[in-house]
Structure 1
Amino acid sequence: MHRLQLHYTLSQDSSPAQVRNPLIDLLQAVSSQGSISGGARALGLSYRHVWGELKRWENELGNELVVWEKGQSARLTTFGNKLMWAERQAQARLSPQIEALRAELERSYAQAFDDSVHVVTLYASHDDALSSLREHALKKETLTLDSGPGRLHLDIRFTGSVDAIRALNEGRCVMAGFHTLLGSGKKTLTERTYKPLLQPGQHKIIGFAQRTQGLMVARGNPRDVHSLKDVVLRRVRFANRTLGSGTRVVLDELLAQANLLASEVNGYDHTEPSHAAVAQAVAAGQCDAGMGIAAAAQQAGLDFVPLAEEQYHLVCLKSALAQPGIETLRQLLQTPQWLGQIAKVPGYSAQYSGQVLSMRKVLPWWDYRHSKTPASS
């Protein structure tokens, strides 16, 4: 078995966190260009270097990677294609952990290089808009506070919604991110899941976004799936999220609303750790559909069937609201630049962005007065 070694570099580049493999880059370039010379040009390398590297890797791995015949386009061998597939699977499954690893390293460097950086440790359900916010915050000089100007570093650890709030309550972070179905009322799974973890007066909700949850399906929707009822009736192969994730709570509540049982879903026990991993499972043909967000479906080249709207909340302890990092984050969330950026994320819209909201108003099962519109508290 071949062992892996991981390396990282310091850079001002704000591109998404990835664990890059030079061999995979070579194979991708040769495959897409149809020749070694074309692949070399695409990578800005010489033909001799690319040819030599491919030969070196073939000797190292004990398998041919590329087949090229005179007068024909170069193509990957079966083994070469399997390597590409394995790398795509790993990237999709591990992207939250990779992002968390980079966040941990950057937190240390941020503190080492710049004393004015405000660090906010955030445990949150995986969310594309949060990743965008993190990059946006790193680029932007924030508004001047009483503590002086500075930059915001979001130290994001992606985990399930339930685990995120538990981390907040246990003091492992200063803020948590979780999401709930719009209009989810009393005596629902949402209430049973989150009410024991949140307390009015102790926790404060900060508005972040509204987003659409739905079914990610292959391009063209070949199974003609338009609802969870179709998933059950057509015995569609399904990919679920792990226990403790907010999306699994959403799925279970939608099943209950449709009078469907989890046991009726073909693949309910097939779990993936993130929206991206579910999307990759669908794209790879391992399943026909899975719950997720529109942004993940678009990134994987899939179609998206919207099912429900939900609110994505940020929550912190009341005592943390005055911390410079939380104040900086709230100001950043209300800037026109951020509001314009989140509007570009598929399936997202800003929702009371940066505002401190009454828990009893934003979470209906705490709303004893039955108010319909969230208000600041």
Structure 2
Amino acid sequence: MPDAVLRLPQRVELTYTLGTERPLGAVHHPLFALIDALHRHGSIQSAAGALGMSYRHVWGELRRWEAQLGRSLVVWNKGQPAALTPFGEKLLWAERRAQARLAPQIEALRMELERALADAFDDRIDVLSICASHDHSLPLLRELALAEQLHLDLQFAGSLEALRALDAGRAQLAGFHVLDGAARGSVSARAYRARLKPGRHKLIGYAQRVQGLMVAPGNPHEVRSLHDMVRRELRWVGRAESTGTQVLLNELLEQAGLASPPRFALLEPSHVAAAQAVASGAADGAFGLQAAAFASGLDFIALARERYFLVTLKSTLEQRAIKRLVALLGSPAWARTLDALPGYQATEPGAVLALTKVLPWWTYRGAR
């Protein structure tokens, strides 16, 4: 006979309140305040007095919780002071033990929430939401921005999804990347042209990056080019079709005359994850960033240089937060940060660029 599965009758949901007084505990729940007071004071009357409540309210709440839990919390002997049942005692001590164990983490969470909310009242601090294709340098940019009292709310997504988030109003900036010098009829043009509108979107220069093949140290399978990606004996890591890296790879495969795409043994959500799959032996190779390959101790075969851009709506360029970010991108501190990353180069960082100048995929009629 299989073991019985114990199921809690209640689910725990965490909420928090705003106020000027210090909290009663790390996490406060009214039920445990009731049974703790009853345990300490030995009667409903005394417990009610300690809590500043009426006898009737405390009695009614205890009865309500008993009905909700389906278990007795209180020994209700007529003519005798109420006391906790063995289950009530066990429940109280279980909650106290959990509070003791979790108190440091909960206090850290509370303090982080207080700091974050305090920032909302500080007029010197600006917040920018960015949905961007995965990039090694963006967390470093967030650190630099914090020092300038500019908070970057950063979320990673594929390049195409990032552009959708911008147009849907879920982000103020999107980050995407494209092969440097991509032609009008290229895979990149076909992927991005419909999602970028001259007159509506503006590019902000960010960086150049190098992408290529990441392989195990010593290149044991003698990988040299994209043609090795169709070798059946090799296991390759792929990326989702909505990612800029997969768009770039598709373009390079087309340029190389490889009509059949490689068969991927697994898909990973980021350059770091792809590199780790190769480093762990789960795959023989992956297409990704030079910086990710070097960080994981892999060999790297460079194949393409690409531009990474931030894009925003033309109507938001004059916002103070955008202007502050543009200034930070144009600073020597940001140039030094990029120079320290393998395969990165500062290229027009912080410059506001017109789509039709940098990505000449539109005719004048289409631009209008």
Deviations 1:152-198 (A, max 9, x none): 11111000000000000011111100000011111222111111111
After superposition, the Cα gap between the structure-2 partners of 1:281 and 1:107, relative to the gap in structure 1 and judged at 3 Å, is farther
Amino acid of the structure 1 residue aligned with 2:332: P
After TM superposition, give the deviation of residue 199 of structure 1 in Å.
0.5
Residue 160 of structure 1 is matched in structure 2 by: 158
Counterpart among 274, 281, 284 of residue 278 in structure 1: 274
After TM superposition, give the deviation of residue 138 of structure 1 in Å.
1.3
Residue 359 of structure 1 is matched in structure 2 by: 355
Residue 207 of structure 1 is matched in structure 2 by: 205
Deviations 1:303-351 (A, max 9, x none): 1111100000100000110001100000001111111111111110011
Counterpart among 309, 314, 320 of residue 316 in structure 2: 320
Counterpart among 134, 144, 153 of residue 142 in structure 2: 134
Question: Structure 2: 5+ residue runs without aligned partners?
Answer: 1-111
Task: Give matches, 1:276-355, under 5 Å.
Answer: 276-355=272-351
Amino acid of the structure 1 residue aligned with 2:123: D
Residue 174 of structure 2 is matched in structure 1 by: 176
Counterparts of 1:106 and 1:324 in 2: how far apart (Å)? 24
Counterparts of 1:271 and 1:107 in 2: how far apart (Å)? 37
Counterpart among 125, 137, 140 of residue 117 in structure 1: 125
Identity, % of aligned pairs? Answer: 52
After TM superposition, give the deviation of residue 109 of structure 1 in Å.
4.4
Residue 196 of structure 2 is matched in structure 1 by: 198
- Contact 1:217/1:302 (CA < 8 Å) preserved in 2? yes
Task: Give matches, 1:213-224, under 5 Å.
Answer: 213-224=211-222
SS of 2:328's equivalent?
helix
Counterparts of 1:107 and 1:213 in 2: how far apart (Å)? 39
After TM superposition, give the deviation of residue 106 of structure 1 in Å.
10
After superposition, the Cα gap between the structure-2 partners of 1:106 and 1:230, relative to the gap in structure 1 and judged at 3 Å, is farther
After TM superposition, give the deviation of residue 302 of structure 1 in Å.
1.0
Counterparts of 1:184 and 1:105 in 2: how far apart (Å)? 45
After TM superposition, give the deviation of residue 113 of structure 1 in Å.
6.5
SS of 1:166's equivalent?
helix
Residue 257 of structure 1 is matched in structure 2 by: 255
Counterparts of 1:106 and 1:123 in 2: how far apart (Å)? 25
After superposition, the Cα gap between the structure-2 partners of 1:116 and 1:275, relative to the gap in structure 1 and judged at 3 Å, is same
After TM superposition, give the deviation of residue 107 of structure 1 in Å.
9.3
SS of 1:316's equivalent?
strand
After TM superposition, give the deviation of residue 234 of structure 1 in Å.
6.5
Counterparts of 1:341 and 1:256 in 2: how far apart (Å)? 34
Counterparts of 2:118 and 2:342 in 1: how far apart (Å)? 30
Counterparts of 2:353 and 2:139 in 1: how far apart (Å)? 23
Amino acid of the structure 2 residue aligned with 1:323: Q
Amino acid of the structure 2 residue aligned with 1:306: A
TM-score by length of 2: 0.66
Question: Structure 1: 5+ residue runs without aligned partners?
Answer: 1-103, 142-150, 370-377
Counterparts of 1:127 and 1:106 in 2: how far apart (Å)? 29
After superposition, the Cα gap between the structure-2 partners of 1:344 and 1:317, relative to the gap in structure 1 and judged at 3 Å, is same
Amino acid of the structure 2 residue aligned with 1:259: G
Deviations 1:255-283 (A, max 9, x none): 100011344x242x621100011011101
Instruction: Tell me which structure has the larger Cα radius of gyration.
Output: 2
C-alpha RMSD of the superposition: 2.4
After TM superposition, give the deviation of residue 112 of structure 1 in Å.
4.0
- Contact 1:107/1:153 (CA < 8 Å) preserved in 2? no
- Contact 1:107/1:119 (CA < 8 Å) preserved in 2? no
Residue 76 of structure 1 is matched in structure 2 by: none
Amino acid of the structure 1 residue aligned with 2:130: L
After superposition, the Cα gap between the structure-2 partners of 1:241 and 1:320, relative to the gap in structure 1 and judged at 3 Å, is same
SS of 1:350's equivalent?
coil
After superposition, the Cα gap between the structure-2 partners of 1:119 and 1:281, relative to the gap in structure 1 and judged at 3 Å, is same
After TM superposition, give the deviation of residue 226 of structure 1 in Å.
1.7
Counterparts of 1:276 and 1:359 in 2: how far apart (Å)? 30
SS of 2:211's equivalent?
strand
- Contact 1:361/1:367 (CA < 8 Å) preserved in 2? no
Residue 225 of structure 1 is matched in structure 2 by: 223
Counterparts of 1:277 and 1:106 in 2: how far apart (Å)? 33
Counterparts of 1:196 and 1:336 in 2: how far apart (Å)? 35
- Contact 1:204/1:315 (CA < 8 Å) preserved in 2? yes
Residue 20 of structure 2 is matched in structure 1 by: none
